[in-house]
Amino acid sequence: MTTYEEAIELAKRRGFFWPSFSIYGGQSGFYDYGPLGVLLKENIVKAWRDEYLRLGAIFIDTPNLSPEMVFRASGHLEKFSDLAARCSKCGSKYKLESLLKKAGIADIPTDVKQANNLLENISIRCEKCGAEIKEVYDFNLMFALEKNEKEASRLYLRPETAQGIFINFRLLSNYFRGKLPMAVGQLGKGFRNEISPRNALIRLREFYQGEVEVFYDPEKPGFADIPVFEETTFLPMDHNEKRMTVREASNSGLIRNPVLAHFVFRTQKILSSIGLGDGVIRFRQHEKNELAHYSSDCWDAEAKLENEWVEIVGISDRASYDLKRHAEFSGENMVITDGDRKFIPSVVEPSFGIDRTVLSVIMVSIYTRENGSKVLKLNTSIAPYIASILPLQKKDGVDVLAKDIYSSILETESRIQYDESGSIGRRYARQDEVGTPYCITVDYESLEDRSVTVRERDSTKQVRISTDSLKQNSGHLATYLDSLFA
């Protein structure tokens, strides 16, 4: 069983995520988050949001649906499409780029004419029936709603959360008292009519994004300071891999825009804090022919999942494209005045794929002990639960004391649970498998001296502490328990 298969099996069995609508046969491209998945996802989102709050970012929440004019202005109606390939024999549909990359072809065509010329000279076969594929067409990735006769324009499900920020720029600037730089974040769902949804949370039709639009004065950009942080791997478009810090990448000109470089650093810092550090992550620069229509440069944070690099964050230089387009189409004034200068701000956008990050964290964290049991080595900060309270027996007052400890900790820390089902060994294994860093066992000795045993997940080491100490430190439980095994 591959790591991917192990992660998917564990996720379904233990309640992280599973395919949607399964009782009706399922629907590709849609997944439900289960009880543990919701908590893991929210903890990852918290790490993302807190980093930007510390930077002084502000946040908004805009509708999932937008009128046609928004996407006409943004360029999505015209340019937001993929080249699709269809098998004329069995009708299977594929993203052409994926088929070509599997065939070892790096030079991906950018339009139907180029694609047809390429397929005249090479043989690409259907993965299901083996027939040769020759049919290529443009496939728009946006979902459109049926037009209401009483409405002037059609509504579309948004393919990204960014446009909701751009069209509110003037209101946001007023709120922020006209100051630049201004970072505006939004967490929400995006919707894309993927040609071939696959690989669980990797390619979905409905997905979570955490996007930040950083508006800045190109002559006084700010964000000049990039702290020294761990080295990482960079793969620029010349394909010559480099090892350096983000600061070095910026100072050397590898990343040309210093603001973009700063948010590569911020991205690296967030990913490292949730367990996706060096050796798991690299930053790859987009080729010119894969840049989005609004982007002049883009670096993807990619996670190595088994033998494949998967994009989980894109950090894009959008310049002033979006604000200029919306000013043109709406008539809204997007100009900022600085003394005698008037300008439209530039924008850098770090865009997190939350679902892909969740799957990456699980796949990187999962391992198997010598006894065959599975463990999720999740950071304390993002694990669904920090600790589980385990009574050794459900009798003789042991369970009463355990429930009292549980209730007292709950007053200041919500990320704990109570588990009394099965043998103590079975409960340890269950908590290890869902990533709970600590188990706190209440036994007969606890009744005499009011002490408990704390077991750490990864080392399986145990220490004995007083219940008074546990309760006194419940307000910062994760830090306290971590310190016991430092």
Domain assignment of residue 280, given as a range = 3-78+153-365
Residues 312 and 397 occupy one common structural domain: no
Q: What is the pLDDT of residues 304-350, one digit of tens each?
A: 999 899 999 999 999 999 999 999 999 999 999 998 999 999 999 99
- Any domain includes 192: yes
Amino acid 472: pLDDT: 95
d(Cα 49, Cα 212) in Å, to the nearest integer? 10
pLDDT > 90? residue 485: yes
- Any domain includes 375: no
Give the confidence band of 138 by pLDDT, cuts at 50, 70, 90: confident
- pLDDT > 90: percent of the chain: 80
- Any domain includes 200: yes
Residues 168 and 204 occupy one common structural domain: yes
Amino acid 319: pLDDT: 95
pTM over 0.95? The answer is no
Give the confidence band of 44 by pLDDT, cuts at 50, 70, 90: very high
Instruction: Establish how many alpha carbons lie within 13 A of residue 205's alpha carbon, considering only the half-sphere containing its beta carbon.
Output: 17
Residues 180 and 241 occupy one common structural domain: yes
pLDDT > 90? residue 238: yes
Do 9 and 363 touch, CB atoms closer than 8 A? no
- Any domain includes 87: yes
CA max distance for the chain: 82
- Any domain includes 372: no
**CATH code where residue 227 lies:** 3.30.930.10
**CATH code where residue 390 lies:** 3.40.50.800
Amino acid 92: pLDDT: 87
Q: What is the pLDDT of residues 87-123, one digit of tens each?
A: 988 988 888 888 888 888 878 888 888 998 888 888 8
Q: What is the pLDDT of residues 370-399, one digit of tens each?
A: 999 999 999 999 999 999 999 999 999 999
Last residue of a domain, one of 98, 119, 140: 140
Pick 427 or 290 by higher pLDDT.
427
Amino acid 198: pLDDT: 83
Q: What is the pLDDT of residues 70-85, one digit of tens each?
A: 999 999 988 777 888 9
pLDDT > 80? residue 152: no
Number of H helices and E strands in the chain, helices first, is 17, 25
- Any domain includes 336: yes
**How many domains are contained in the chain?**
3
Residues 352 and 272 occupy one common structural domain: yes
Residues 126 and 60 occupy one common structural domain: no
Q: What is the pLDDT of residues 191-231, one digit of tens each?
A: 999 888 889 999 999 999 999 999 999 999 988 789 999 99
- pLDDT > 70: percent of the chain: 100
Residues 67 and 126 occupy one common structural domain: no
Amino acid 192: pLDDT: 93
Residues 345 and 270 occupy one common structural domain: yes
- Any domain includes 377: no
Amino acid 237: pLDDT: 94
Residues 356 and 413 occupy one common structural domain: no
Q: Return the closest-CA partner of residue 188 out of 212, 168, 155, 172.
A: 212
Residues 159 and 229 occupy one common structural domain: yes
Query: What are the two backbone dihedrals, phi and then psi, of residue 376, each rounded to the nearest 5 degrees?
Result: -105, 110
Residues 229 and 198 occupy one common structural domain: yes
Angstrom CA distances, 113 to 51, 83, 117, 267, stand at: 45, 11, 6, 38
Residues 187 and 265 occupy one common structural domain: yes
Amino acid 146: pLDDT: 84
Average pLDDT over residues 6-33: 96
Amino acid 89: pLDDT: 87
Average pLDDT over residues 12-37: 97
- Any domain includes 166: yes
Residues 272 and 225 occupy one common structural domain: yes
Count how many residues are written for the chain.
486
Amino acid 373: pLDDT: 94
Amino acid 31: pLDDT: 97
Amino acid 120: pLDDT: 87
Show the tokens assigned to 401. Answer: 């004391």
β pairing state of 387-391 and 346-353: unpaired
